[in-house]
Amino acid sequence: MYKIVRKEVLNPSVSLIEVEAPYIARKAEPGQFIILRVDEKGERIPFTIADYDRDKGTVTVIFQIVGKSTESLNELGEGDSLQDMVGPLGVASNFEGVKKVAVIGGGLGTAIAYPQAKKLHSMGVSVDMINGFRNKDLIIIEDLCKAACTNLYTMTDDGSNGNQGFVTAKLEELINSGEKYDLVVAIGPLVMMKAVCDLTRKYDIKTIVSMNPIMIDGTGMCGGCRITVGGETKFACVDGPDFDGHLVDFDSAIARSRMFKNQEAESRERAHKCRLEGMNNA
Amino acid sequence: MPNMSLEKVPMPEQEPNVRNKNFKEVTLGYTEEMAVEEAQRCLNCKHKPCMQGCPVMVKIPEFIALVAEGKFEEAYKKIQETSSLPAVCGRVCPQENQCEKFCVRGIKGEPVAIGRLERFVADWYMENCKSVSEKPESNGKKVAVVGAGPSGLTCAGDLAKLGYKVTVFEAFHTPGGVLVYGIPEFRLPKDIVAAEVNKLKELGVEVMTNMVIGKVLSVEELLNEEGYDAVFIGTGAGLPSFMKIEGESLNGVYSANEFLTRINLMKAYKFPEYDTPVYVGKNVVVVGGGNVAMDAARSAKRLGAENVYIVYRRSEEEMPARLEEVHHAKEEGIEFKLLNNPVKINGDENGWVDSVTCIKMELGEPDKSGRRRPVPVEGSEFDLDADVVVVAIGQTPNPLIKNTTPDLETNRYGCIVAKEETGETSKTGVYAGGDVVTGAATVILAMGAGKTAAASIDEYLSQRKK
Ligand SMILES: Cc1cc2nc3c(=O)[nH]c(=O)nc-3n(C[C@H](O)[C@H](O)[C@H](O)COP(=O)(O)OP(=O)(O)OC[C@H]3O[C@@H](n4cnc5c(N)ncnc54)[C@H](O)[C@@H]3O)c2cc1C
Ligand SMILES: Cc1cc2nc3c(=O)[nH]c(=O)nc-3n(C[C@H](O)[C@H](O)[C@H](O)COP(=O)(O)OP(=O)(O)OC[C@H]3O[C@@H](n4cnc5c(N)ncnc54)[C@H](O)[C@@H]3O)c2cc1C
Ligand code: SF4
Ligand code: SF4
Ligand code: FES
Ligand SMILES: [Mg+2]
């Protein structure tokens, strides 16, 4: 089980894997996520379900290499198997009654936003997708996104793809040019989601964000993923991961995402050292 | 001639200052000689008073008599007639409130060490009798068990022995429930739990991990689409409670579930060999007075914390933890701040815990539970330095199954309503037992509930026309 049937390198730090997980594929919906373990000593790492194929019984995740566990994951190739995968977890996105939506992806957040855009698009909703990256080499899944929306705007911080600017600037430009969105979906780094929410609050547009706090079980039993929404404590794994962005306490979420910063660095360093020593011994 | 010593034969254990730095088992168990000597303290009372204290009626005098004769294998079979997890229960039962509480030897002196003897017998059997269980003949009926804790595992084992095809669906990647994610290695080695699970597999039980029922499949689907004739729900009480005081979202504040899951299930005590981190810091405040609080405090100490405090709002007398755990915790250097209650967690400028403000309590009039109610002493607030706070004030059932099984009756605490004598719920063909029914309780009660449900599932399915 959990065999990797396809792997693609999307950019130097982002890969896609399609994994055999028939039970999960049967039930998965956009907005939900899985938790996987690479091996017996591995962490439980959550990833959004980027796509699923009910007939083939597969689930696709797109992941960014940021630390020890995602590095280990990236060492696996087609034909290798994961130790564990559990899901689908979290609440599926609910888009009833919306007509025109702006879906915003920041960096890797694009991959998390993609299934939502795809679902909205398939429901006949008008979707403007605005994706932002630091530079043109980091752009991922542009073709997939193009097929999942009405208009795609791909922005780069440094303008290297010919479209310079932050996603917030583009969104404001579209709003000012008369586009009337009844919903904004913003997915990306916490600071980006916070900036989008500050903007849409000004224009009074309902905004949904996807919260990705540190998780373990993903079923509501540890409380580690708790965030503050509208003054109440919520568990992102069971109450979310989507929340009303105007109610989310981003500052506390940003602090909590750094809870294990030192240990994460230690874990990664050790992995690198082991790899070097392994090479020396060879 | 019985051994008239007033004291139990002591059980060897690691020195407190050695063991509070490792995760190896604290107590080392009896040798054969010690077990026989202790067994000889039993008077083989005709009225078997000890048995009334055991929730599953282990035939205590009979198994102890066999131990005294050196017939350890027979002793094991005797225990097994009514209990499924003796290696576990011998270690974790609150014996002082159960079997040993009623032992006549306890009137003057210490009671017979029933728990230690039970553990000895189970360990001896596991080491010396590598009997392979025979797969019973199939009766063609399928039962789904949800949750691989003591209740689910027991129910699965009993049904498998009767010929049912049993599949256990477990949300986590390892079966065992609290026995693997909550109770630490130094109290209950995980090999013991794994051995119990393997015995079930030999009986033909299929254990499917990574299956969250209510998400990947619903109870309804198990019955109507997956072809199970009955379902047992033993999903425990895994939802952590917080104190709802200021500062609980600061970095460094954990629920006991998170803290212990990181350490036990994910083996953060072997970090960085294992990938999952845990942060412990120098000063740790654990809030609560039960087994969960003791486990969290003793784990923190082992991970290098200098000062570990148990903050509990009542007095030692009311502490629900097993006597042995409190005793061991004290020996290991855990400081007890009794009759104190946290009112606020204070943070530093980076969002990390800095200290906990507590208020002193005094005991007032008895409340409904008969325990004297703690009341705050006005103006007695003080600050306790803390890098980490572990909240161990209780758990309730996870609402996942309740929310996805509309016709399953639950009470106002979210516990599934099930008949005590049978485990039957409001939904035909669905049975439940363990913590999900009673709220957080004990291993032996969960095991007993699993047994009861297995018997009534068998009765229900034997009577039902195919
Ligand atoms: C619901 C959800 C969906 C996610 N979807 C995706 C996705 O589709 N693609 C993707 O690349 N990433 C996704 N993530 C983030 C991903 O889980 C982390 O990047 C990954 O766990 C980092 O592990 P690491 O050991 O490689 O890095 P580390 O060095 O351990 O951590 C790097 C950073 O990742 C975060 N992180 C660490 N551990 C966890 C954890 N257990 N749970 C959540 N975050 C953690 C922390 O903010 C940390 O600072 C998602 C997270 C959540 C909660
Ligand atoms: C830290 C700690 C220490 C303890 N110490 C003691 C002690 O010393 N002595 C004692 O007698 N008792 C002790 N207890 C209590 C005892 O462990 C429990 O009463 C007992 O484990 C309950 O058993 P159970 O089978 O009902 O549930 P659990 O052991 O909780 O097992 C439930 C299982 O169901 C799984 N599950 C939950 N939801 C789902 C779902 N939707 N789908 C699939 N699977 C699911 C869970 O992952 C878990 O594996 C302790 C508890 C804790 C937390
Ligand atoms: S199962 Fe528990 S209560 Fe019963 S005899 Fe054994 S230790 Fe005592
Ligand atoms: S009460 Fe004590 S002495 Fe009497 S039979 Fe039970 S264990 Fe033995
Ligand atoms: S990840 Fe444990 S409660 Fe959400
Ligand atoms: Mg990591």
- Which pLDDT band holds residue A279 (cuts at 50, 70, 90)? low
- Residue A257 CB neighbours (<10 A): 16
Nearest CA in chain B to A264: B277
What is chain A's alpha carbon radius of gyration, rounded to the nearest angstrom?
Answer: 19
pLDDT for B465 equals 61
Query: Residue B61's domain is classified under what CATH number?
Result: 1.10.1060.10
Atom 1 of ligand 3: nearest residue by CA position: B89
Nearest CA in chain B to A229: B249
Residues B399-432 pLDDT 10s: 999 999 989 999 999 999 999 999 999 999 999 9
Is B80 inside a domain boundary? yes
Q: How far apart are CA A45 and CA B30, in angstroms?
A: 42
**Which of B210, B262, B350 is the closest to A85 by Cβ?**
B210
Residues A30-62 pLDDT 10s: 999 999 999 999 999 999 999 999 999 999 999
pLDDT for B135 equals 81
Q: 């990664």: which residue's tokens? A: A268
Query: Is A15's pLDDT higher than 50?
Result: yes
Q: How far apart are CA A76 and CA B421, in angstroms?
A: 51
B460 CA to centre of ligand 4 in angstroms: 37
Which of B338, B372, B392 is where one domain is finished?
B392
Please tell me the total count of domains within chain B. Answer: 3
Assess whether B264 and B175 both reside in one domain. no
Query: Is A116 annotated among the ligand-binding residues?
Result: no
Spatial contact of A2 and A82, defined as CB atoms under 8 Å apart: yes
Atom 2 of ligand 4: nearest residue by CA position: B103
Assess whether B230 and B109 both reside in one domain. no
Assess whether B358 and B404 both reside in one domain. no
Query: Chain B contact for A266, CB < 8 A?
Result: yes
Is B466 inside a domain boundary? no
Backbone angles phi, psi at A67, to 5 degrees: -165, -165
How close A194 gets to chain B, by Cα (Å)?
18
Query: Is A63 annotated among the ligand-binding residues?
Result: yes
Q: Which residues surround ligand 6, an ion (CB under 5 A)?
A: A 67, 69
Query: Is A139 annotated among the ligand-binding residues?
Result: no
Characterize A185-214 residue by residue with b for buried, 16 or more Cβ atoms within 10 angstroms of its Cβ, and e for exposed: bbbbbbebbbbbbebbeeeebebbbbbbbb
Q: Which residues does chain A have within 8 Å of residue B252's beta carbon, measured at their own beta carbons?
A: 259
> SS3 sequence, A104-131?
EEECCHHHHHHHHHHHHHHCCCEEEEEE
Query: Is the shortest distance between the CB of B95 and ligand 3 below 6 Å?
Result: yes
Q: Side chain identity at B30, as an amino acid letter?
A: Y
A67 CA to centre of ligand 2 in angstroms: 32
Using the atom order of ligand 2, give the atom closest to the CA of residue B445. 19
Q: Which ligand is nearest to the CA of A71?
A: 1
Using the atom order of ligand 5, give the atom closest to the CA of residue A235. 4
Query: Is the shortest distance between the CB of A214 and ligand 5 below 6 Å?
Result: no
Reported as type and span, the H/E element at residue B458 is helix B443-463
What chain A holds in terms of domains, given with CATH numbers, is 2-89 (2.40.30.10), 100-257 (3.40.50.80)
- Decide if B239 and A220 are in contact by the 8 Å CB cutoff: yes
Which of B146, B167, B169, B215 should be substituted to probe chain A, the one whose Cβ sees the most A Cβ atoms within 10 Å? Answer: B215
B38 CA to centre of ligand 1 in angstroms: 54
- Decide if B272 and A224 are in contact by the 8 Å CB cutoff: no
Nearest CA in chain B to A69: B275
Query: Is A280's pLDDT higher than 80?
Result: no
Which of B218, B226, B265, B275 should be substituted to probe chain A, the one whose Cβ sees the most A Cβ atoms within 10 Å? Answer: B275
**Residue A147 token pair:** 């097929």
pTM of the model as a whole: 0.96
**Chain A residues 202-221 with a CB less than 8 Å from chain B:** 216-217, 219-221
Query: Residue B316's domain is classified under what CATH number?
Result: 3.50.50.60
Q: Side chain identity at B351, as an amino acid letter?
A: G
pLDDT for A282 equals 44
**Residue B399 token pair:** 């609402």
Assess whether B294 and B316 both reside in one domain. yes
Is B133 inside a domain boundary? no
**Which of B173, B216, B249 is the closest to A37 by Cβ?**
B173
**Residue B233 token pair:** 């729900």
Assess whether B40 and B147 both reside in one domain. no
The residue whose CB lies within 8 Å of the most ligand 1 atoms, and thus the one to mutate among A214, A262, A266, is A214
Assess whether B404 and B359 both reside in one domain. no
The side-by-side arrangement of strands in the sheet containing A45-48 is A45-48, A33-37, A84-89
Query: From the centroid of its chain, how far is CA A175?
Result: 25
**Chain A residues 81-110 with a CB less than 8 Å from chain B:** 83-89
Is B7 inside a domain boundary? no
pLDDT for A83 equals 98
Query: Chain B contact for A42, CB < 8 A?
Result: yes
Region class of B244: left (phi > 0), else alpha (psi between -120 and 50), else beta: left
Assess whether B251 and B388 both reside in one domain. yes
Q: What is the mean predicted confidence (pLDDT) over A14-25?
A: 97
Which of B75, B92, B126 is where one domain is finished?
B126
How close B62 gets to chain A, by Cα (Å)?
41
Assess whether B208 and B353 both reside in one domain. no
Is B134 inside a domain boundary? no
Query: Is A4 annotated among the ligand-binding residues?
Result: no
Query: Chain B contact for A68, CB < 8 A?
Result: yes
- Residue A78 CB neighbours (<10 A): 12
Query: Is A274's pLDDT higher than 80?
Result: no
Assess whether B366 and B417 both reside in one domain. no
Query: Is A1's pLDDT higher than 60?
Result: yes
- Decide if B212 and A24 are in contact by the 8 Å CB cutoff: no
Residues A175-203 pLDDT 10s: 999 999 999 999 999 999 999 999 999 99
- Residue B108 CB neighbours (<10 A): 7
Total number of residues shown for chain A: 282
Assess whether B122 and B262 both reside in one domain. no
Query: Chain B contact for A57, CB < 8 A?
Result: no
Query: From the centroid of its chain, how far is CA B42?
Result: 27
Using the atom order of ligand 2, give the atom closest to the CA of residue B151. 25
| Ordered DSSP codes for B197-247 | HHHHHHTT-EEE-S--BTTTB-HHHHHHTS--SEEEE-----EEP----BT
Cβ-based neighbours of A107, under 8 Å, separated by 6 or more: A64, A132, A133, A134, A138, A188, A189
The residue whose CB lies within 8 Å of the most ligand 5 atoms, and thus the one to mutate among A219, A256, A257, is A219
Nearest CA in chain B to A228: B249
Query: Is A276's pLDDT higher than 90?
Result: no
Residues A157-178 pLDDT 10s: 999 999 999 999 999 999 999 9
Nearest CA in chain A to B252: A259
Per-residue pLDDT of chain B in tens (466 residues, 90 and over written 9): 689 899 999 999 999 999 999 999 999 999 999 999 999 999 999 999 999 999 999 999 999 999 999 999 999 999 999 998 999 999 999 999 999 999 999 999 999 999 999 999 999 999 998 766 678 899 999 999 999 999 999 999 999 999 999 999 999 999 999 999 999 999 999 999 999 999 999 999 999 999 999 999 999 999 999 999 999 999 999 999 999 999 999 999 999 999 999 999 999 999 999 999 999 999 999 999 999 999 999 999 999 999 999 999 999 999 999 999 999 999 999 999 999 999 999 999 889 999 999 999 999 888 887 888 899 999 999 999 999 999 999 999 999 999 999 899 999 999 999 999 999 999 999 999 999 999 999 999 999 999 999 999 999 999 886 5
In B84-202, alpha helices (H): 86-92, 114-128, 150-161, 178-181, 190-202
Q: B294: closest CA among B307, B277, B311, B278?
A: B311
Assess whether B122 and B144 both reside in one domain. no
Cβ-based neighbours of B48, under 8 Å, separated by 6 or more: B60, B61
B257 CA to centre of ligand 5 in angstroms: 10
B47 CA to centre of ligand 4 in angstroms: 9
Which of B96, B126, B156 is where one domain is finished?
B126
**In terms of residue numbers, what domain contains B119?**
14-126
Is B245 inside a domain boundary? yes
Spatial contact of A226 and A235, defined as CB atoms under 8 Å apart: yes
Assess whether B229 and B294 both reside in one domain. no
Is B181 inside a domain boundary? yes
Q: Which residues does chain A have within 8 Å of residue B217's beta carbon, measured at their own beta carbons?
A: 23, 27
Is B381 inside a domain boundary? yes
Q: Side chain identity at B389, as an amino acid letter?
A: V
